[in-house]
Amino acid sequence: MSTLVVLPQMAIALAIDRVASRTPLSPDQRVVQALSRLTFGARPGDVERVRKLGVGAFIAQQLDPDSIDDSALIKRLEKLPTLNQSTPTLAEQYNPPKPSPTPTPAQNVATAMTSEPTMTVEAKPSPSPATPAKPTPTPKNPQMVITELQRAKLLRAVYSERQLNEVVVDFGRIISASTAIRMRRVG
């Protein structure tokens, strides 16, 4: 097809699309549109609930997330222990211990030259029975923190009644993460 034929057809298609977008939505279409734009998507029963409540009331409810009972989600999130731990606790429990740096051959030679071989025996201190030595806790798998964050995001998307709040918070996390990545590249 020549461009003389394609351009008018594209113009007609755009005009029809504009007219179609001006036609008012049916009540069911408004419900589906609200759910698709303000939530992670319609869950079973959401369309009927919003239809019964009304789109305006649903939006007003979502704009006041503190008024929405989210106990079902909270019960599920409680099963993820890393979510409520402080950053220092996470760093202590989930970061593997850093290995001591391996001395370079030059450092080995320097140490050997400065130390004098001696045959002394040092007395070992007797262990005190009152204060047993604390064993170093074995670090937990650091991937568990990431896995639980991913599970929490999915649980919030599926089970939270505060859908608009979760969508906005998720958007903020995405912006923060992409900004941090850009800053690492630049800096």
161 burial via Cβ count (<10 Å: 0-12, 13-18, 19+): middle
Residue recorded with tokens 């029975």: 129
State the angle between helix axes of 27-38 and 55-62 in degrees (0 to 180), rounded to the nearest 10.
20
* DSSP conformation letters of 48-69: HHHHHH-HHHHHHHHT-GGGS-
Residue pLDDT tens, the chain, 187 long? 554 555 566 666 666 666 666 789 999 999 999 999 999 999 999 999 999 999 999 999 999 999 999 999 999 999 999 999 998 888 888 876 566 677 677 776 666 666 555 555 565 665 555 666 565 556 678 888 889 999 999 999 999 999 999 999 999 988 888 887 888 787 6
DSSP structure class, residue 83: G
Residue recorded with tokens 């996470």: 90
Q: What is the pLDDT of residue 29?
A: 95
DSSP structure class, residue 130: S
Q: What is the pLDDT of residue 35?
A: 96
Q: Which helix (H) or strand (E) holds 76?
A: helix 71-77
The pair of structure tokens assigned to 31 is 């419900």
CA distance 126 to 129: 9
Q: Is the pTM of this model over 0.85?
A: no
Residue recorded with tokens 């057809």: 9
CA distance 77 to 13: 49
108, HSE (Cβ side, Cα atoms, 13 Å): 5
CA distance 50 to 4: 48
